[in-house]
Structure 1
Amino acid sequence: MKTRNVLVGIGLLSVGVWLINLWLYPYGQMNVWNMRNELVFLTGILAYSMMGLIMVLALRPKILEPMFDGLDKMYHLHKWAGIWAIIFAIAHYLIRESKGILLLFFEKGGKKGAGGNIDLPWFFEWLRSFKGDAKDIGEIMVWVLAAVLVITLCRKIPYHIWRYTHKLMGIIFIAIAFHTIVLSPPTFWTQPVGWLFAVITVVGVVASVISLFGWIGKKHQHSGKILNITRHENDLIEIDCELKGEWHHKAGQYAFLNHRYFSGAHPFTISSADCGNDCVRFSIKDLGDGTHRLFTHAKVGDPIRVEGPYGEFIL
């Protein structure tokens, strides 16, 4: 499944539920204020849908690997879904803040028709008492997301800084979920757009909790130690690892290696055959801060943790 197809599909789903809302609760007369209002809704739906997608992909679910031809393709989708989520979030904020400029040229007016309000259970009414807080949180999160986008796209920013910003994505999503639930129009919750929001919120919050507690890939992790190290002249190091528990892999797959010299787990291609002895070899090039520290300081007996195997490119 191609990244573009998934992103287009999410976009069409978002536009579809937005159009259903517009059809169910039409305006008596369309004007610039109503158009602004609907663009705020549309960009918000698009941003939240993309956010839900990136939270699911962040869990590295193995069940989705065959569908996307491997975790590397899922990461590519994760990256672009994140970029588009931030773009839509910024657009959502800018359109929302355009009121002052529009007032210079247009008179205020054009409220939703009579069908635009419904009675909601007490829980939703109680949530709406936090409208001011939700607006403030939403504005803060836009600036945070903009900073995350800059850090992601700027190659000069060190990996460990990028990693820490992404560790915060769980908190960011929960904050955005609060903003979305509190500020969504009451009519949303009786139709597909509200149902979509409910699914995204539940799945996204669960994914956020898993991420914040460091449980991603937990059941696929194996602790172990370095059994042998071979350093080559071309800045290449081969590390043989002995793992606890049953380990099996296929040629062409890769795994995440975590060593104390790394700021988090790094993916490396497995360069050994599966001999059924719960051992795995990684051939690692000295290319960055973490791999350089590994190349110069790693020694036999060092504890390591391996997560995987991943990959659908089977040789």
Structure 2
Amino acid sequence: MTYLSKYSGIAIITILAAVPGIIWAFQAATPNSFSSLGSAALSVGKLLGLSGMALFSLNFILAARLKFTEPLFRGLNRAYIVHHFVGGLALIFLLFHPMLLTLQYLTISLSAAGSFLLSTLTELDKFLGELALATLVLLLVLTFYVKLPYQFWKLTHKFMGLAYFLASLHVLLIPSDVSVIPLLRGYMQTLIATAYLCILYRTVFRQFTVPRFQYKVANVVQVNPQVVEITMSPIKQKMHYRSGQFVFVEFRARGVRWEDHPFSIVSEPAEPNLRITVKSVGDFTETLKLLQAGAPVFVEGPFGQFTFQSIGNPKQLWIAGGIGITPFLGMVRELEKERVPPATSVILYYVVNKPNEAVFLEELRAIAQKFSFFKLV
């Protein structure tokens, strides 16, 4: 894997976020843009506002789980890591945007800075920006620093669309370089429109736009007091996947919240059914013991590039802890059924706190005894 392909997604995000600043530099900047503290504060404040809004827009594209983003980041899980970082960076840029604009007025006089701050409360276009920033700060503080139940965490992300709506109105309504430079205005409008489409795709029209497979619960097996294995059979089309990938699963059953959660696939692709193994670690996963055969299931995916084939090397070392064994279960089951390359060698280190937490240990031992390419430690 080349360096460029490894970081292509990050490179694209960086370029797209920098484009507004590049347009501004060529079409709005003057020799006096950085000639004094006040003009430099104004110029940097503008640049941070443009790039911050671009990052804010791009973050909704990253959150939409679009298929083309996965290969750019080598998996949806890595795309979400970048999503988390981009959200924080957008907040920093957008926080410094009004601070630097205020500094520019402070270099003139204290009363000028006071008049500017007062105008953010009395003029609608500026007030929308302040309200958007306050909403964004509140939501991101809750995201980064408060441990919320999953359903409330998801709710805060839905309100992120409100913060974006207010911010986009601020960008499009306020007299600024965006309003007078056609290329910059067109670029920002394109980013904003794309972000809105992603919001509509993922939230408002999700039931109609997001492709999902229809399954039903076939069986629920209590593996140990804390772990259940759920087998699901397809109602129409079977989902094709590689072992090691994961899916977002929504169960439509009484006593279980109708919300999707990510789970690793433990079945292997040749099986007619889809299997996941879940440990009770919260309110939602605890209720999955209540599932009954026949309950409708909606499955979105598959996602992820954590597969035996994607590594590109037949000699692999796997390390799993506790319920983290789930992606490896599917992979070793697939290798058991397929004709593996002659040089294949897999060593699995399986670590648990207590012996009874080692789920499917006997099955793994049996595979290790049967096949020389697989070693369990």
Specify whether residues 107 and 161 from structure 1 end up closer, same or farther in structure 2 by C-alpha distance, changes over 3 A only: closer
- For 1:253, give the aligned amino acid: Q
Aligned partners of 1:237 and 1:284 also within 8 Å: yes
Aligned residue in 2 for 1:265:
260
- For 2:261, give the aligned amino acid: H
- For 2:278, give the aligned amino acid: I
Deviates more, 1:178-187 or 1:74-83: 178-187
- 1:142-167 Cα deviation digits (max 9, x unpaired): 11111111111125222222110111
Map residues 228-247 of structure 1 onto 2, 5 A cutoff. Answer: 228-233=219-224, 235-246=226-237, 247=239
Counterpart selection for 2:193 from 202, 208, 226: 202
Question: Aligned-pair distance for 1:6?
Answer: 4.8
- State the alpha-carbon separation in 2 of the partners of residues 161 and 70 from structure 1: 26
Aligned residue in 1 for 2:59:
54
Aligned residue in 2 for 1:40:
45
Aligned residue in 1 for 2:303:
310
Counterpart selection for 2:26 from 20, 27, 46: 20
Question: Aligned-pair distance for 1:85?
Answer: 0.9
- 1:42-64 Cα deviation digits (max 9, x unpaired): 11111111012111112111022
Question: Aligned-pair distance for 1:202?
Answer: 1.7
Larger Rg: 2
- State the alpha-carbon separation in 1 of the partners of residues 146 and 163 from structure 2: 23
Specify whether residues 59 and 29 from structure 1 end up closer, same or farther in structure 2 by C-alpha distance, changes over 3 A only: closer
Aligned partners of 1:173 and 1:204 also within 8 Å: no
The two structures have a TM-score, normalised by structure 2, of 0.69
- State the alpha-carbon separation in 1 of the partners of residues 177 and 51 from structure 2: 19
Specify whether residues 93 and 159 from structure 1 end up closer, same or farther in structure 2 by C-alpha distance, changes over 3 A only: farther
- State the alpha-carbon separation in 2 of the partners of residues 133 and 171 from structure 1: 16
Aligned partners of 2:27 and 2:181 also within 8 Å: no
Secondary structure of 1:284's partner?
strand
The two structures have a TM-score, normalised by structure 1, of 0.81
Counterpart selection for 1:170 from 150, 161, 177: 161
- For 1:291, give the aligned amino acid: T
Structure 1 position 153 matched with structure 2 position 158:
no
Please provide the CA RMSD for this pair. 2.8
What's the % identity of the aligned pairs?
23
Specify whether residues 76 and 190 from structure 1 end up closer, same or farther in structure 2 by C-alpha distance, changes over 3 A only: same
- 1:263-296 Cα deviation digits (max 9, x unpaired): 621111111012363x21111111122112223x
Aligned partners of 1:173 and 1:208 also within 8 Å: no
Structure 1 position 274 matched with structure 2 position 269:
yes
- State the alpha-carbon separation in 2 of the partners of residues 242 and 307 from structure 1: 14
Question: Aligned-pair distance for 1:189?
Answer: 4.7
- State the alpha-carbon separation in 2 of the partners of residues 175 and 106 from structure 1: 28
Counterpart selection for 1:69 from 74, 81, 87: 74
Aligned partners of 2:105 and 2:112 also within 8 Å: no
Question: Which structure 1 segments of 5+ residues have no match?
Answer: 109-130
Secondary structure of 2:24's partner?
helix
Question: Which structure 2 segments of 5+ residues have no match?
Answer: 1-5, 114-121, 309-377
Aligned residue in 1 for 2:86:
81
Secondary structure of 2:307's partner?
coil
- For 2:150, give the aligned amino acid: Y
Aligned partners of 1:57 and 1:78 also within 8 Å: yes
- State the alpha-carbon separation in 1 of the partners of residues 147 and 166 from structure 2: 29
Secondary structure of 1:156's partner?
coil
- The number of aligned residues is 290
Secondary structure of 2:217's partner?
strand
Question: Aligned-pair distance for 1:72?
Answer: 0.9
Aligned residue in 2 for 1:122:
none
Aligned partners of 2:42 and 2:104 also within 8 Å: no
- State the alpha-carbon separation in 2 of the partners of residues 283 and 248 from structure 1: 18
- State the alpha-carbon separation in 2 of the partners of residues 82 and 28 from structure 1: 28
Aligned partners of 1:56 and 1:204 also within 8 Å: yes
Aligned residue in 2 for 1:255:
247
Secondary structure of 2:215's partner?
strand
- State the alpha-carbon separation in 1 of the partners of residues 219 and 203 from structure 2: 34
Specify whether residues 144 and 227 from structure 1 end up closer, same or farther in structure 2 by C-alpha distance, changes over 3 A only: same
Specify whether residues 298 and 33 from structure 1 end up closer, same or farther in structure 2 by C-alpha distance, changes over 3 A only: same
- State the alpha-carbon separation in 1 of the partners of residues 131 and 27 from structure 2: 28
- State the alpha-carbon separation in 1 of the partners of residues 177 and 21 from structure 2: 19
Aligned partners of 2:33 and 2:43 also within 8 Å: no
- State the alpha-carbon separation in 1 of the partners of residues 19 and 34 from structure 2: 26
